[in-house]
Amino acid sequence: MIKEEGKGDHDILKAYNMMLYFAGTMILWDPSNECIHDFWTRGIIKNLPVSSRNPKFIKASALLRNSLSDENSSHEKMKDDYLALFTGKETSLAPPYESVYMNNDRLLYGKETGEVREFYQSYGWESKFKDTLPDDHLGIELLFLTLMIEKYLEFDDEACRKEMRNEIKRFINTHLYNWVPRWNEDVQKNSITMSYKGIGTLIHACLEDLYSLMEGPGKTSFLASGN
């Protein structure tokens, strides 16, 4: 059950959206980007906006909090980690692309790229990165998921909300659950910083928590936090 401490489901989902946006940004851009610096200096790392009983979430929170004082999570180490983990495409240690993990030959631009693009298009959405990054990049998929949740939060009609909950679960099942756990394993195995170990685990945890939240009341075991 969700225990509400001055927060309703709306605020809990807003908090998860904030964390998804933060985590997606960390995968899209290297740590020299100004917004990455802002995330690290404005307190979201030390005090995540929601807490959860999910063991993955607890681990992610601890990793991110401890990364603030970890010598191996310095700005330069984070930049080296980002480059080794997520760039280089054929040589990256944890390539953030659905098609790589769903293709036995670990190639970019598999059929999954077109399938997730079709999902975007069914909502009239087009990635602003379409000319520079494949549509199945994890950061882009997380961005689209945040937009779906925002759309869900706009609905007042329960029938529309139920349909949107099903669509959110379908997107998570079809384009995230099928590869993100393996991607996170590669991040944990190859990352040299607590920062990116925490980001990988946070993404995995947030997907699990959000899916459970979309299942409806009585299906979750998370605690809302007033952080």
| Mean per-residue pLDDT, 147-176 | 95
pLDDT in tens, 108-118: 667 778 899 99
Q: Is 222 a domain residue? A: no
Q: Is 225 a domain residue? A: no
Q: Encoding tokens for residue 120?
A: 């975007």
pLDDT in tens, 1-11: 233 333 468 88
Q: Is 182 a domain residue? A: yes
Domain count, the chain: 1
Q: Is 224 a domain residue? A: no
Identify the CATH number of the domain in which residue 211 sits: 1.10.3480.10
Q: Is 45 a domain residue? A: yes
Q: Is 211 a domain residue? A: yes
Residue 40 predicted with pLDDT over 90: no
Q: How far apart are CA 227 and CA 25, in angstroms?
A: 21
Q: What is the secondary structure of 103-135 as a DSSP string?
A: STT--SS-HHHHHHHHHHHHTT---TTTTTS-T
Residue 131 predicted with pLDDT over 80: yes
pLDDT value of residue 6: 32
Q: Is 223 a domain residue? A: no
CB 94 within 8 A of CB 200: yes
Q: Is 177 a domain residue? A: yes
pLDDT value of residue 33: 64
Range of the domain at 207: 9-215
CB 68 within 8 A of CB 45: yes
Average of per-residue pLDDT values in the chain: 85
